[in-house]
Amino acid sequence: MKKKITIVSIWILFIYILKQNHLFSLDMDTLKQFISGNTKYAMLLFVALWVVRLLIFIPGVTLMILGGICFDPIVGFLLSMVGMILSETVVYIFSRIFSNEKIIQYLERKHPELKTSLESYNYKLLALGIICPIAPTDAICFLSAAAGLKYSTYILTIIISNIPLMMLYSFIGISFSESLMGIILVVISFVLIAFISIKIWNNFKQKQKTELQHC
């Protein structure tokens, strides 16, 4: 609860600072006019948000949807892909350089099934963790790198797993300015994907718990 309160407080402060400096508006037309007049600056800012998102607690999903709202579909998709690659590359580098026993032990205590699962399923678990909305994606990425997964396999898995989701979230963003039916269809698609992936993830966790109990 304290963690959630802290995150919400940081976001409220961040939005307040932006509004005080006239950099934030709830008016979408005003936002789009600003972006069209400052395209390069807006693109760089968007990619920069991807790079620092873990420090300011921005979920990747939020940025994917924001890309669909603020930019053309293809541009938003490409910017989100570039930002995601940079963001997860930072996670990989941080894990390989700064991971130590204390950090790994903390993550193992918090998610006890992950280490054994990564050793057994490797990049397959990484892919599932990215697709499933309730999976601790960043923890899985960190432990995947710490476990010695090659960067090429790591980043290729992340790219392939994110492509359908990124397209879906971009269409959610586009639909906000289009018809209500578009929003409904995209949301239904998201719910179906989330339901299936959550079911697979929960079955996977249950299987891992059973295996650990028999060890």
The position carrying tokens 């966790």 is: 205
Give the model's pLDDT for residue 192.
Answer: 80
User: Is 14 part of a structural domain of the chain?
Assistant: no
User: Is 65 part of a structural domain of the chain?
Assistant: no
Is pLDDT above 60 for 141?
A: yes
User: Which residue from 165, 146, 143, 145 is spatially nearest to 155, judged by alpha carbons?
Assistant: 145
Q: What is the arithmetic mean of pLDDT over 21-48? A: 74
Chain CA centroid to CA 108, Å = 21
User: Is 105 part of a structural domain of the chain?
Assistant: yes
Calculate the average pLDDT of the chain.
Answer: 76
Helix pair angle (73-98, 151-175), 10° resolution? 140
DSSP state of 136: -
> In which domain, by residue range, is 185 found?
81-214
Max CA-CA distance within the chain?
62
Is pLDDT above 50 for 1?
A: no
Distance CA 141, CA 111 (A): 13
Q: What is the arithmetic mean of pLDDT over 26-55? A: 80
User: Is 107 part of a structural domain of the chain?
Assistant: yes
User: Which residue from 91, 138, 88, 139 is spatially nearest to 111, judged by alpha carbons?
Assistant: 139
Q: Which residues are CB-neighbours of 195 under 8 A, at least 6 positions away?
A: none
pLDDT digits (tens, 9 = 90+) for 150-200: 999 999 999 999 898 888 777 665 555 555 665 666 667 777 877 888 888
pLDDT category of residue 47 using cuts at 50, 70 and 90: very high
Is pLDDT above 60 for 4?
A: no
User: Is 141 part of a structural domain of the chain?
Assistant: yes
User: Is 106 part of a structural domain of the chain?
Assistant: yes
189, 168 Cβ separation under 8 angstroms: yes
pLDDT digits (tens, 9 = 90+) for 78-127: 999 999 999 999 999 988 887 766 666 766 677 666 666 776 677 888 88
Give the model's pLDDT for residue 63.
Answer: 85
User: Is 26 part of a structural domain of the chain?
Assistant: no
Domain count, the chain: 1
Give the model's pLDDT for residue 33.
Answer: 73
User: Is 174 part of a structural domain of the chain?
Assistant: yes
Chain CA centroid to CA 203, Å = 22
